[in-house]
Amino acid sequence: MFRKDTHCVYNPPTYQGVNTPIFTSTANRYLGQDEILYPRNYNTENQKVIVEKLCRLEHAEAGLIFSSGQAATTTALFAFLKSGDHVLFSKEIYGGTAKLAVDEFSKYNIAYDFVSAADLSTITSKIRPNTKVIYVETPSNPLLSIVDLKAIAEIAKKNNIVTVVDSTFASPINQNPLLLGFDIVMHSGTKYLGGHHDLCFGTLLSSQSLIDTIYKSAVNFGGSLNGLDCYLIERSLKTLALRVEKQNANALQLALALQERPEVSKVFYPGLPNHPNHDIAAKQMKGGFGGMLSFELSDAAKTDDFLNRLQLIIPALSLGGVDSTICQPATSSHVSLPESERQELGITNGLLRLSVGIENMEDLLQDIDTALKG
């Protein structure tokens, strides 16, 4: 009924106060009740309030909130998989998602392939009769590649395959994959939804029937969240649209400025017209292209000096918060990959991944300028 920025703020008038009270009880009276309230039943008031808000933002019928993004991913996958099944992952995917498949799937006799999701013909050729799930991420980490969600959803529907997208980098403000035909949206709420580098959670949003299926596994896997954290999420979501709008604007300006610098050889940002998937990004994202960008220093040997000279932007892992943070994927998020695999993915030693915050644009530009000049 309302628009997104209003949905972020507005709570339907259930209580006299404008905010939801924090319900801490794990023991709840059961006599005469239809439903047993319990955090791991995913049905406490604080969980419900944020799930309903996220459903409005993602145009979902139902959802679940988890204690980490990884708990959401694991639950989504294992809810639909059994021994003998096969999963297709897009090649450019969060390290933890890839690690889950590599470390765990063989124990359960589940096969998988990583495919370049940008190349639809490869996807079609990799589908097997036992392929049950296609799992993609867009924009991707760390090179901000874009997957054509509508095209992949169409292929999957023809083959009766469940589609899941990790939409963390876009947030529900910049992208609504369910409207493009995807079945399930996953977010690591630790990033933009939380937005202040102080919460760890995840969410799955989908149709009522798919959430009913996932729910049965979610109760068994037990990755639920407590009321206190849920309340902090409710508070964070109030400013989600405001934060992301500022991050979109800051990131675009920084990407344009970095492109002009001789010390920078490449800039990866889906909002730049020269980004290889800019057309698809412009079609499927709205409001902006997100607060994440990557760039490559012309002289990779200067990476440490550059990071050490920054005064405002914090060399730190994780992303999506109000503070700008930066990391060198080759020595941090992707350090466990062999050098050859990193090169194949395009993760060079000079590559830096910047999560743009809500600071003043001029201060960010100045910080980068000083650090680049050395």
Ligand X SMILES: *Cc1c(COP(=O)(O)O)cnc(C)c1O
Interface positions with ligand X (CB under 6 A): 68-70, 94, 96, 137, 141, 166, 168-169, 188, 190-191, 200, 202
Of the candidates 95, 78, 96, the residue with the CA atom closest to the CA atom of residue 87: 78
Q: How far is the CB of 68 from ligand X (least distance, A)?
A: 3
* Cβ distance to ligand X smaller for residue 44 or 188: 188
Q: Do 18 and 229 form a contact (C-beta atoms < 8 A)? A: no
Check if the beta carbon of residue 12 is closer than 8 Å to that of residue 18: no
Q: Closest CB to ligand X among 137 and 296?
A: 137
Shortest CB 15 distance to ligand X, Å: 29
* Length of the chain (residues): 374
Rounded CA-CA distance 267/335 in Å is 21
User: Measuring CA to CA, how many Å separate 88 from each of 70, 116, 155, 336?
Assistant: 18, 10, 12, 22
Q: Is position 94 annotated as part of the catalytic site?
A: yes
Nearer to ligand X, 200 or 219 (CB): 200
Residue of 367, 259, 246 whose CA lies nearest to 314: 367
- Sole residue written with tokens 């589940």: 110
Backbone angles phi, psi at 333, to 5 degrees: -60, -30
- 25 Cβ contact partners less than 8 Å away, ≥ 6 residues apart: 37
In the bound complex, what is the minimum distance in angstroms from residue 311's beta carbon to ligand X? 26
Residue 174 — φ and ψ, nearest 5°?
-100, -10
Q: In terms of CB distance, is 39 or 142 closer to ligand X?
A: 142
* Minimum CB distance to ligand X, residue 9 (Å): 24
Nearest distance from residue 85's CB to ligand X, in Å? 22
Please provide residue 64's backbone torsions phi and psi, each rounded to the nearest 5 degrees.
-140, 150
Closest among 136, 93, 146, 173 to 282, alpha carbons compared: 146
Question: In DSSP terms, which residues pair with 295 in a beta bridge?
Answer: 267, 352
Catalytic residue from among 191, 243, 246, 342: 191
**Residue with Cβ nearer ligand X (188 or 303):** 188
**Given 53, 85, 91, 94, which residue is catalytic?**
94
Indicate the residue type of 72.
Answer: A
Told to judge if 42 belongs to the known catalytic residues of this protein, a careful annotator would answer no
Whether the CB-CB separation of 275 and 258 falls below 8 Å is answered with no
- Considering the complex, what minimum distance in angstroms separates the CB of residue 202 from ligand X? 5
Q: Which C-beta is closer to ligand X: that of 39 or that of 202?
A: 202
From 62, 69, 333, select the one nearest 206 (Cα to Cα): 62
- Is residue 127 within 8 A of residue 161, CB to CB? The reply is yes
**β-bridge partners, 294:** 268, 353
The residue of the chain with the least Cβ separation from ligand X equals 69
Distance CA 167, CA 185 (A): 6
Closest CB to ligand X among residues 11, 355: 355
CB of 74 to ligand X, least distance (A): 9
CB of 30 to ligand X, least distance (A): 32
The C-alpha atoms of residue 354 and residue 266 are separated, in whole angstroms, by 13
User: Which residues, 6+ apart, have CB-to-CB distance to 284 below 8 Å?
Assistant: 138, 146, 148, 149, 150, 175, 180
Q: Choose, from 4, 40, 302, 309, the residue flagged as catalytic.
A: 40
Nearer to ligand X, 169 or 269 (CB): 169
User: Catalytic site residue 191?
Assistant: yes
Active site residues: 40, 94, 166, 191
